[in-house]
Structure 1
Amino acid sequence: MRTIALISRKGGSGKTTLAVHLALSAHLGCRRLLVADADTQLSADEVLKPRCGEGPAEVQTTGRDLCAVQRQAVRDHVDLMVIDTAAGLEESLSHAIVLADLSLLVVRPRVLSV
């Protein structure tokens, strides 16, 4: 199983949008996947729950519980786990980064970001 974590210390950068689109793309490609929504706003949950028909599995979690979620996903023969993280919560971000095979740092550069 592979794990991708979407990381950003700033809110509104597009982490959830990317996480949901990656999950939907993998689902359409017939992959067994899990979206681990570790964002306290639960936006991925909000987007995925009302979908009609089959779709990506989703679980609400915290950074501390990500390891247990990942172990269960392996037991469930999940192909891909996508982690949507909370902005700014460094402890939660560090858990996701350690567990991930790939961490995507989401940035939105601005003139004053330099």
Structure 2
Amino acid sequence: RLARREGETVDRLLRLHFRDGRTRVNGDAQLLMAEMLNVFVREAAARAVRQAKAQELEQVDIEHLEKVLPQLVGGCGSAPGLGPRQGPPPRGRRGGGSDAEPPAGLPLQLLDF
């Protein structure tokens, strides 16, 4: 079960994309979305760390996160603040074809913290 504050946060994030203000989200859907957000945030953090390490830096900065974020939202159409996706990714490449892709051999992985 989600804490009240977490449930409200998930609900607000979902409502950013609802077309009908009367749309409701049941508890199971909120739990699933909260887990998906958790995985997304952890993966974004892990990729930002790898980006900083690739640059031989010991501190992760917002720029590292900004470089990896397009990889994670590239197939989602659009995301708040990121603008619409600009067509399909180039053939033979994953994600949005960003110049900031991680080095080869760094697949998407789920992390257990």
What TM-score does the superposition give when structure 2 sets the normalisation length? 0.31
Which structure carries more strand by proportion?
Answer: 1
Which structure carries more helix by proportion?
Answer: 2
Whichever of the two has the greater Rg, that structure is 2
Greater relative CO (CA pairs within 8 A, separation 6+): 1
